[in-house]
Amino acid sequence: MEERTEPWNIAAQLDELRAQGLWRELRPLDEVDGVIVRAGGREWINFSSNDYLGLAGSPEIRTALAEGVARYGGGSGASRLVCGTHRVHVELEEALADFKGTEAALTFSSGFAVALGTIPALVGAGDTLILDKLCHASLVDAARLSGATIRVFPHNHLEKLERLLKTAKGRVLVVTESIFSMDGDAAPLREIVELKEKHGAWLLVDEAHAVGVLGPQGRGLAAELGVAQRVDLHMGTMSKAFGLSGGYLAASRKVIDLLINRARSFIYSTAPPFHLAHAISVALNVLRSEKGEVLRQTLHDNAQTMKDILRSIGIEPQLTPSAILPVILGDEELAMSASTRLREAGFLIPCIRYPTVARGRARLRVTACAMHSLAQIQSLGAALLAALHRFKATTPDP
């Protein structure tokens, strides 16, 4: 058996990952109860979830799912263009378009699928994609898949972006996140919008970590900055603040019609279950409601408390109003040991390493949620101090 797999070097590849401190493994949880997770009789406080507002376990979403399953059953049975489009999909897409202030929207089975479907449907050979260096893997893979020329600008570097815009050929699409997933900082969207308009390019903004968290009714950073109407393509996911799963692209009616005809991850994938579409509509209503506003305020208060605590232990947090607080340690193995020590102390904060972030930029990615109590946040501060104290002398400056 070993002989047959030998030409693939699987064992050697795994050994190399271990040797580089890049080994990853799945650790199943037995139970998720708000921000408490349990496995094998132990429990941890979860500071790594993107369920920012706690909707995943909320009564509204549990009821909506149960209602949806009772009404619509399980899977959708086919892709959207075959017989998988239900009225609930259409209603959800209308509600998303209204939320994002666009003519139309299209839902996909994940945020990753949105990127893979949308970008190659809009640009190809002879066109140019200009991406921020820290764009999510889904955007990078979509860019490669498109066949367009790929240009990358250093993170949030407007001068370099403009230089690339000046020399870009064909249709030109600028791609950025609004809140960056591993750094928690914000893109200078106002300036990027100015630049893309000056050079006649289009702009796709992935608001995965901003929707539900920022802007009026949680519409995202572009809405908060007043530039939403000038963004051509709004991408998002239902796997984070919505507390469910799926993704969407909101844009003009023409763009959505083109995606229905060209986006392969939409056309050739079974439609998301009807009960899920129903539950997403309910989650969207919660995001836009008074309750959503209260949850968002609690989330921001918690994030602010965490930032104050980080600062008090010598870690300078991002100034942006995001719920993602990276503690950059640099070395992969050091970050892994810090994460292990925190785990032993009862905190779930995975270490983020290459290839998710650059080599030598390993970090603990702490996320705030609306459900964290003040006591939980304070206990994290003490645990972080203890876990990091050991490494202080040896860690490079972030």
Q: What is the binding site for ligand PMP (CB under 6 A)?
A: 110-112, 136, 138, 177, 181, 206, 208-209, 237, 239, 247
| 94 assigned to active site | no
Q: Nearer to ligand PMP by C-beta: 237 or 281?
A: 237
CB of 7 to ligand PMP, least distance (A): 33
Which of 51, 132, 177, 207 is an active site residue?
Answer: 177
CB of 297 to ligand PMP, least distance (A): 23
SS (H, E, C) 245-299: CCEEEEECHHHHHHHHHHCHHHHCCECCCHHHHHHHHHHHHHHHCHHHHHHHHHH
Which of 209, 275, 278, 307 is an active site residue?
Answer: 209
* Strand ordering across the sheet containing 233-237: 104-108, 247-251, 233-237, 202-206, 172-177, 128-132, 149-153
CB of 319 to ligand PMP, least distance (A): 20
| 209 assigned to active site | yes
Q: Nearer to ligand PMP by C-beta: 168 or 321?
A: 321
Dihedrals phi, psi of 232, to nearest 5 degrees: -80, -40
Which of 206, 207, 232, 332 is an active site residue?
Answer: 206
Closest CA to 108 of 143, 138, 130, 150: 138
CB of 91 to ligand PMP, least distance (A): 21
Bridge partners for 39 per DSSP = 42
CB of 242 to ligand PMP, least distance (A): 10
Q: Which residue is nearest to ligand PMP (CB)?
A: 111
| 234 assigned to active site | no
* Six token digits for residue 300: 């921001």
Q: Nearer to ligand PMP by C-beta: 207 or 331?
A: 207
Which of 240, 278, 307, 372 is an active site residue?
Answer: 240
| 392 assigned to active site | no
* Other CB atoms within 10 Å distance of the CB of residue 307: 18
CB of 224 to ligand PMP, least distance (A): 17
- DSSP state string for 24-44: ------SEEETTEEEETTEEE
The whole-angstrom separation of Cα 253 and Cα 152 is 29
| 181 assigned to active site | yes
Q: Nearer to ligand PMP by C-beta: 208 or 279?
A: 208
Closest CA to 56 of 26, 33, 29, 27: 33
Q: Nearer to ligand PMP by C-beta: 110 or 320?
A: 110
- Residue type at position 225: L
The whole-angstrom separation of Cα 231 and Cα 213 is 18
Which of 86, 100, 136, 278 is an active site residue?
Answer: 136
DSSP element (H, E) containing 100: helix 87-100
Contact in structure between 236 and 101 (CB atoms under 8 Å): no
User: Between helices 111-122 and 253-262, what is the axis angle to 10°?
Assistant: 100
Q: Nearer to ligand PMP by C-beta: 85 or 138?
A: 138
Please identify every residue annotated as catalytic: 50, 136, 177, 181, 206, 209, 240
